[in-house]
Structure 1
Amino acid sequence: MKHFTNQDIQELSKYYRANLINSITGYKPANLIGTVSETGETNLAVFSSVVHLGANPPLVGMIIRPATVPRHSYENILATGYYTINHVHESFVEKAHFTSANFERTDSEFDTCKLQAEYINGFEAPFVQESNVKLGMKFLQEIPIELNGTILIIGQIEHLILPEEIIGEDGNVDLESVETICVSGLESYSKVGKLAKFEYARVKNVPDFENS
C-alpha cells in the first residue's frame, strides 16, 4: 500500500497531484453545462462537480474553479441567471471532453465540438439536443470557498427533461439504459453499471450480516 502524507501530496508535481486527488474521490457524474451570454454567445463546458443538494425544493450544486482566469460559464450564469445541466452519454463523450479546451469567448463549443444547441419553453439557456437527461436551472446563490478560491453555485431545477420509460415506479431513474457516463480524474470516462438495488434502510430491516 502506498501512503501519502499531506506533505508528500504538496510536493508532487502539479499535474500528478491534480490527477491523484481528482481520482481518489471516486467516479463523478459527467455533465455539460450550457449557458449564454447577455449578448447571445453560447457556451458549453464539461463539469464533474455537479451534486444533489435537496429534493424539496429541488436544488443542485456545482463547483466552479477559481475565477483567476475568465470562466465563461460562471460569468454567463451570473449575467443571465440561467443555465442547463446535460448528462453526457457514450455516443458523444469525446465531443463533451474537448469542450474543456480553453476556447475564446467568441468561439462556441457547440459549434466547434459539433453538438446541437436546443431551446425549449422560452428558457433562456441552451440545452444539449443529444443529451437524454437535461435540467434547466435557475441560479439562486453562490458561496465562495475561501480555502481554495473555488465557488459553490446553487441552482433550482426549473425544467427536468428525460425519457418517460427510464423513470421507475418509485421515481428512480435508470441511467444505465441511456448510457450516461461518469468521469474519474481529469480525463478518464467510464460506463455506468447497476450493481444492486436495496430496500429503504430502516433499523428494523437491517440484515443479520454476521450470519448472512
Structure 2
Amino acid sequence: MVALTRTDIDNMDTLYRINLINSCSGYKSANLIGTQSNDGFTNVAVFSSVIHLGSNPPVLGFITRPDTVPRDTYENIKKTGFYTINHIYQEITEDAHHTSAKYPKEVSEFDKTNLETSFKDNFFAPFVKNCHVQIGLRYVEEYNIQVNGTILVIGEIEKLYINDSILETDGFINLAKAKTATINGLDGYTIPQQSIRYPYQRPKST
C-alpha cells in the first residue's frame, strides 16, 4: 500500500495531486446544473458535488469554486434565485463532460453539445431534456468555506420530475435502471449496477 504524508501531497506535481485528491473521496454524484440569466442566456455545467442535506424541508447543496473568476452558474443562481439539477446518464456522459469547458457567458453549452433545454411549468431555469431525474430548486442560502474559498450553495426543491419506470412503490429511485452515472475523480465516469438493498435497521435485542 502506498503511504503518503501531507508533505508528500504538497510536493506532488499539481495535476497528479488534483487527480489523487479528487479520487480519494470515492465515487461522486454526476449532475448537470441548469441556469438562465435575467437576459435570457442559458447555461448548463457538470457538477460532482451535489449532496443531500435533508428531506423536510427537501434541501440539496452543492459546492462551487471561489468566485474570483466568472462563475456563470453561481452568478445566475444569485441573480435569479432558481436552478435545476439533472442526473447525468450513460448516453450523455461525453456531452455532459464537455460542459466543463469555459465558454463566454453569452455562449450556451446547450448550443455546443447535443444537450437540450426543457422548460416546464413556468419554472425559470431550464431542465435538461431526457434526464431521468430533474430537480427544480430555489436558492435558500450559502456558506463560505474559509479553508479554500469554496461556497456551499443550498437550495430547496420546488419541482421534482422522475421517469416513472425508475420510481419504485416505496419511493426509492432506482438509479441503476436509469443508467445514472457517477464520477471518479475529475473525468472518470462509471455506471453503477444495483446489487443489494437492505431494510431499515433497528438495534438488535440482546
- Tell me the TM-score range normalised by the shorter chain: over 0.9
CA distance in 2, matches of 1:24, 1:72: 28
Deviations 1:25-51 (A, max 9, x none): 011110000001111100000000000
Give the structure 2 partner of residue 45 of structure 1. 45
Give the structure 2 partner of residue 124 of structure 1. 124
Q: Does 1:7 align with 2:7?
A: yes
Give the structure 1 partner of residue 103 of structure 2. 103
SS in structure 2 opposite 1:157?
A: strand
CA distance in 1, matches of 2:53, 2:108: 30
Q: How does 1:53-132 map to 2 (within 5 A)?
A: 53-132=53-132
CA distance in 2, matches of 1:116, 1:80: 21
Q: How does 1:121-200 map to 2 (within 5 A)?
A: 121-200=121-200
Higher helix share goes to which structure? 1
CA distance in 2, matches of 1:124, 1:139: 12
Q: In the alignment, residue 41 of structure 2 is paired with which amino acid?
A: E
How does the TM-score come out when normalised to structure 2? 0.97
Aligned residues: 206
Q: In the alignment, residue 66 of structure 1 is paired with which amino acid?
A: P
Percent identical residues: 47
Q: In the alignment, residue 157 of structure 1 is paired with which amino acid?
A: I
Q: In the alignment, residue 149 of structure 1 is paired with which amino acid?
A: G
Deviation of 1:171 after TM superposition, in Å, equals: 1.1
Give the structure 2 partner of residue 209 of structure 1. none
SS in structure 2 opposite 1:66?
A: coil
Q: In the alignment, residue 94 of structure 1 is paired with which amino acid?
A: E
Q: In the alignment, residue 145 of structure 2 is paired with which amino acid?
A: I
CA distance in 1, matches of 2:132, 2:203: 37
Give the structure 1 partner of residue 20 of structure 2. 20
Deviations 1:158-198 (A, max 9, x none): 00101223212221111111111100111000011112111
How well do the aligned residues superpose, as a CA RMSD in angstroms? 1.2
CA distance in 2, matches of 1:205, 1:125: 50
SS in structure 2 opposite 1:124?
A: coil
How does the TM-score come out when normalised to structure 1? 0.95
SS in structure 1 opposite 2:198?
A: coil
Deviations 1:60-91 (A, max 9, x none): 00000111211000000000000000000111
Give the structure 2 partner of residue 31 of structure 1. 31
Unaligned 5+ residue runs, structure 1? 207-212
Q: How does 1:197-208 map to 2 (within 5 A)?
A: 197-204=197-204
Deviation of 1:205 after TM superposition, in Å, equals: 7.3
Unaligned 5+ residue runs, structure 2? none
CA distance in 2, matches of 1:176, 1:205: 34
Moved over 3 A (4+): none
